[in-house]
Amino acid sequence: MIPIILLENSNGLTDCPGFKAAGAACDVRELGDMERLDLAMVAADKPCSAAGVFTLNDICAAPVRLCKEILPRSGNKVAGFVANSGNANAATGEQGMADAKEMGALAQLSSGIGAPFLVCSTGRIGRKLPMERVESGIQTAAGKLSDDAQSSLNAADAILTSDTRRKVATAQFNFEGQTVTVSGMAKGAGMIEPNMATMLAFLTTDVIANSEQLKHVLTAAVNQTFNRISVDGDMSTNDTVLLFANGKSGVDPWDGPADLLFAFKEAVFKVCERLAELIVGDGEKVTKLVELMVQGCPRVQDAEKVARTVGNSLLVKASWYGSDPNWGRLASAAGDASVGLKEELLDIHYDDVPALLKGVPQDTRVADWKAVVAKKRFRITINLNQGNRDFRLLTSDLSEAYVNFNKSE
């Protein structure tokens, strides 16, 4: 087993050698604010491999459709990506697609790299991109591309929307004296649910890999991390996770011992996991983080259905917000998943404190339940005792401030 180290202080994408980044401010929101960074650009020193995982929403934003087009067409060698916040370029028709292409073309022109740029957007739906502003932002960013820490952090800041905190992570491991790096940055906040709603994440690595290999590793990591978090149950039109590999370390995980490939997969997983936790923890007006473990199901899909039904129940989430150990709502929501749960077999625990054992309330433990749900982060285990499959969902409470925050845009 090759040990993986998650850096204490990540600087985001340029922690990985061979990548440059920049953030620029171009007032995409058209609020007269030229201070807020809203355009990110990241490029490899030379064209690199890439893979992406995208939203399953029937309505794909133009940049998502463009990325899906570019990735196969280019044999997956790309320059990097350009991303704006403040406008999702979604539900914008043919003009939206033309604008997304223009963003990519201009990034390529400005940076002078002979490969296409992937394009991402996040923000308000249904409004045309202010292209003059975006274009000036791309030109500014291209002129500032650098591998220093601040440029990388600027890029991480530029993709944020209602996030309150920057989200970066870096994992490293050593193989035969060579350090291998996987770095990442993300934005989340609202509309977080399966399939990564209004979530963007970008990863860079210096392994040698082709796009099929990257896609395989990325898909597995996304399924175990970004697809197992939920803030409000909505899936957006723009969700995108991209992974870029420039080969700079000289290490090829597919050409070495099994441990090496495992270490690379684990590094990608750990960066995704860390970013996913940062996203839920910074969910819009979230006050509690809840790790929901559903166990003892006949099938994984049953466990997932129970977890998502419980984790998205407004009544359950409101009770977490109120620090109310209302296991009745948990049980009712679990039953609502209609997977054939048997009440007389059901166990529910708050952290390690039993609330329900084989359907029987453990009322003498009320004070202990309350102590658990009063915490900022706790675990709820729901065991159906009807099989051995499980599912873990990282979710959050629902606050009054969430509703207030989202009542208009």
- Binder of a second copy out of 5, 34, 59, 366 (CB under 8 A): 59
Q: Measured between alpha carbons, how far is 243 from 248 in angstroms, rounded to an integer?
A: 15
Does 234 bind a second copy (CB under 8 A)? Our answer is yes
Shortest distance, CB of residue 344 to a second copy, whole angstroms? 7
Q: Is 120 or 182 the residue whose CB approaches a second copy more closely? A: 120
Cα-Cα-Cα-Cα torsion 360, 363, 368, 373, nearest 10 degrees, comes to 70
Does 11 bind a second copy (CB under 8 A)? Our answer is no
Stretch that binds a second copy, among 22-30, 165-173, 262-270, 396-404 (CB under 8 A): 396-404
Site track 193-212 with a second copy (rule: CB under 8 A), x = hit: ----x---------------
Q: Which two tokens stand for residue 276?
A: 């996913």
Does 192 bind a second copy (CB under 8 A)? Our answer is no
Does 328 bind a second copy (CB under 8 A)? Our answer is yes
Residues 6+ apart with CB under 8 A from 80: 19, 41, 42, 43, 44, 48, 107, 111, 113, 117, 118, 244
Bridge partners of 174, per DSSP, are 179
Nearest to 184 by CA among 261, 118, 115, 273: 273
Does 404 bind a second copy (CB under 8 A)? Our answer is yes
Q: Footprint of a second copy on residues 115-134 (CB under 8 A)?
A: 124-127
Q: What does DSSP say about strands 347-350 and 353-357: parallel, antiparallel, or unpaired? A: antiparallel
Q: Measured between alpha carbons, how far is 229 from 234 in angstroms, rounded to an integer?
A: 11
User: How many positions of this chain bind a second copy (CB under 8 A)?
Assistant: 67
Yes or no: say if 2 and 259 are a contact pair by the CB < 8 Å rule.
yes
Backbone φ/ψ region at 18: left (φ over 0), alpha (ψ -120 to 50), beta: left
Shortest distance, CB of residue 40 to a second copy, whole angstroms? 22
- Binder of a second copy out of 292, 334, 372, 393 (CB under 8 A): 334
Shortest distance, CB of residue 345 to a second copy, whole angstroms? 11
Does 326 bind a second copy (CB under 8 A)? Our answer is yes
Q: Measured between alpha carbons, how far is 220 from 181 in angstroms, rounded to an integer?
A: 18
Q: Which two tokens stand for residue 128?
A: 């045309």
Q: How many CB atoms lie within 10 A of CB 183?
A: 29
Does 408 bind a second copy (CB under 8 A)? Our answer is yes
Does 81 bind a second copy (CB under 8 A)? Our answer is no
Half-sphere exposure of 390 (CA within 13 A, CB side): 14
Tokens 């050409």: give the residue: 255
H helices present in 124-281, as ranges: 131-144, 149-158, 211-224, 258-281
- Binder of a second copy out of 339, 372, 393, 394 (CB under 8 A): 339
Q: How many CB atoms lie within 10 A of CB 362?
A: 17
Does 337 bind a second copy (CB under 8 A)? Our answer is yes
Site track 347-386 with a second copy (rule: CB under 8 A), x = hit: ---------x--xxx-------------------------
Shortest distance, CB of residue 62 to a second copy, whole angstroms? 10
**H or E stretch at 186:** strand 178-187
Q: Of 14, 55, 122, 198, which one is the catalytic site residue?
A: 198
Shortest distance, CB of residue 122 to a second copy, whole angstroms? 12
Shortest distance, CB of residue 374 to a second copy, whole angstroms? 12
Q: Is 92 assigned a catalytic role? A: no
Stretch that binds a second copy, among 28-36, 43-51, 111-119, 393-401 (CB under 8 A): 393-401
Q: Which two tokens stand for residue 4?
A: 């993986």
Report the alpha-carbon angle 44-49-50, nearest 5: 95
Does 342 bind a second copy (CB under 8 A)? Our answer is yes
Does 237 bind a second copy (CB under 8 A)? Our answer is yes
Q: Measured between alpha carbons, how far is 94 from 82 in angstroms, rounded to an integer?
A: 20
Shortest distance, CB of residue 99 to a second copy, whole angstroms? 15
Q: Footprint of a second copy on residues 283-322 (CB under 8 A)?
A: 312-315, 318-319, 321-322
- Residues at the contact surface with a second copy, assessed by CB under 8 A: 56-60, 88, 90-91, 93, 124-127, 190-191, 197, 232-237, 312-315, 318-319, 321-324, 326-329, 331-344, 346, 356, 359-361, 398-409
Catalytic residue list:
198
